[in-house]
Amino acid sequence: MKRRTFIRCLGCGAALAVAPGGELLPEFLGGVQNAVAFDYAQNLSSVEARYYKKLEGGGIECELCPRHCFITDLERGYCGVRENRKDTYYTLVYGLPCSVNIDPIEKKPFFHFYPGTEAFSLATAGCNVNCKFCQNWEISQTRPEQTKNIELPPKAVVDNCRERKVPSIAYTYSEPIIFYEYMYDIAKLAHESSIKSVMITGGYIEKEPLKDLLTQLDAVKVDLKAMREDYYKNIVHGELKPVLDALVQIKNSGVWLEIVYLVVPTLNDTDSEFVDLARWVKTNLGADIPVHFSRFYPQYLLKNLPPTPTQTLERAYQISRAEGLQFVYLGNLPGHPAESTYCPDCGELLIERRGYRINKYNLDGNRCHKCNREIPGIF
């Protein structure tokens, strides 16, 4: 891989934009920090995919996610990034991210995993669902030949983290499950350099590939879209049960877990749904799992709906706390008190946040500095 430009700065929030020549686009010069520009890739990858089986009579069945796509020769699965070529299944996006940047870990959001640190963040084109509210639909709902991909093999990702002293790598923006092989190999190599790996996902994955992947991950944030199958069918184009199963599997593996619930007005914002969510999490995952209720903004295929009212988010917060969840947060509301972490026992402010910035930090290791209560997470 040839690297033309390497700009070293501090702090960042946006995804990388790179011009065709490999330089930063003009609007990012001097503005985007921690950005890295690489050469564009000329071709898609031809790395054999994992988790598929060849079928008698021809064709293959993908076994990575619950869709179990049946794919004939020269066809692709639902995600658009895996192709059958003479009954060998290939990933087309290995080493070819279309979005790269260094973000605050709080942007993912992770609030109980190395707060205040940065994560080298990357994504390829493609997704195995089609959420009507997707904020990154330009890359998640396109094929890899439609995005500007850069050459970034696993070793280059890890080398960049080491050079810049970035402690973790985040697989994010689109759906990391569809670039499984690339993510797995990066994470495995990163651990050899004591660099952590975190996945930001919708959790729509089969049990066996998830089991293998969890051996290489340090934290997972799952977007739990709703607590109703009809919502997953009509708004997400997926299924709820496999996501719930994945949440339990992640929790049981010992890998750190946080949940985000995007509150969409009129679609998944009733009190009964908030109650169902809180009770399910408490019963199946535990009361100490962080749950983030995030504010919706109209985009992609749901531009007809208004932003989530603050009062709705506060109602979700109050219901979840009343049901016994200990760490509940409100997202996309900069400056709101519910962005911060409090001790469940004495109520002490432990981590004060505004957006992605930490203003105060009052933990002694992983304990409340006032009452010594242990706070779950990796601090």
Q: How far apart are CA 253 and CA 270, in angstroms?
A: 32
Would you state the structure tokens that stand for residue 289, as one six-digit string?
Answer: 């799992």
Query: Are residues 129 and 265 both part of a single domain?
Result: yes
Query: Are residues 317 and 363 both part of a single domain?
Result: no
Q: How far apart are CA 359 and CA 299, in angstroms?
A: 31
pLDDT score at 37:
58
CATH number, domain of 223, equals 3.20.20.70
Sequence-distant (6+) residues with CB within 8 A of 369 are 348, 350, 362, 363
How many helices (H) and strands (E) are present in the chain, helices listed first? 8, 21
Number of domains in the chain: 3
Beta bridge partners of 358: 353
Query: Are residues 358 and 320 both part of a single domain?
Result: no
According to DSSP, the β-strands at 291-295 and 328-331 are parallel
pLDDT score at 42:
83
Q: How far apart are CA 104 and CA 116, in angstroms?
A: 7
Query: Are residues 274 and 379 both part of a single domain?
Result: no
Query: Are residues 268 and 359 both part of a single domain?
Result: no
Half-sphere exposure of 209 (CA within 13 A, CB side): 23
Query: Are residues 338 and 354 both part of a single domain?
Result: no
Q: pTM value?
A: 0.91
Q: Which long-range contacts (CB under 8 A, 24 or more apart) does 10-18 make?
A: 10/34, 11/104, 12/101, 12/102, 12/103, 12/104, 12/118, 13/103, 13/104, 13/107, 13/356, 14/101, 15/99, 15/100, 15/101, 15/121, 15/123, 15/173, 16/99, 16/100, 16/101, 18/148, 18/150
> Contact, 329 vs 290, CB < 8 A?
yes
Query: Are residues 201 and 276 both part of a single domain?
Result: yes
Would you state the structure tokens that stand for residue 121, as one six-digit string?
Answer: 């963040």
Residue 286 lies in a domain: yes
Residue 39 lies in a domain: no
SS (H, E, C) 279-332: HHHHHHCCCCCCEEEEECCCCCCCCCCCCCCHHHHHHHHHHHHHCCCCCEEEEC
Query: Are residues 275 and 369 both part of a single domain?
Result: no
pLDDT score at 40:
83
Residue 40 lies in a domain: no
Query: Are residues 75 and 215 both part of a single domain?
Result: no
pLDDT score at 273:
98
Query: Are residues 135 and 202 both part of a single domain?
Result: yes
> Contact, 50 vs 209, CB < 8 A?
yes
Domain boundary among 91, 113, 144: 91
Residue 63 lies in a domain: yes
Query: Are residues 337 and 350 both part of a single domain?
Result: no
Query: Are residues 170 and 264 both part of a single domain?
Result: yes
Domain ranges, residue 184:
99-344
Residue 28 lies in a domain: no
> Could you state, in chain order, the average pLDDT of each consecutive group of 10 residues for the chain (379 residues)?
33 38 33 53 94 96 98 98 98 97 97 98 98 97 96 97 97 98 98 98 98 98 98 98 98 98 98 98 98 97 98 98 98 97 98 96 96 98
Amino acid at 18: V
Residue 21 lies in a domain: no
Q: How far apart are CA 119 and CA 138, in angstroms?
A: 22
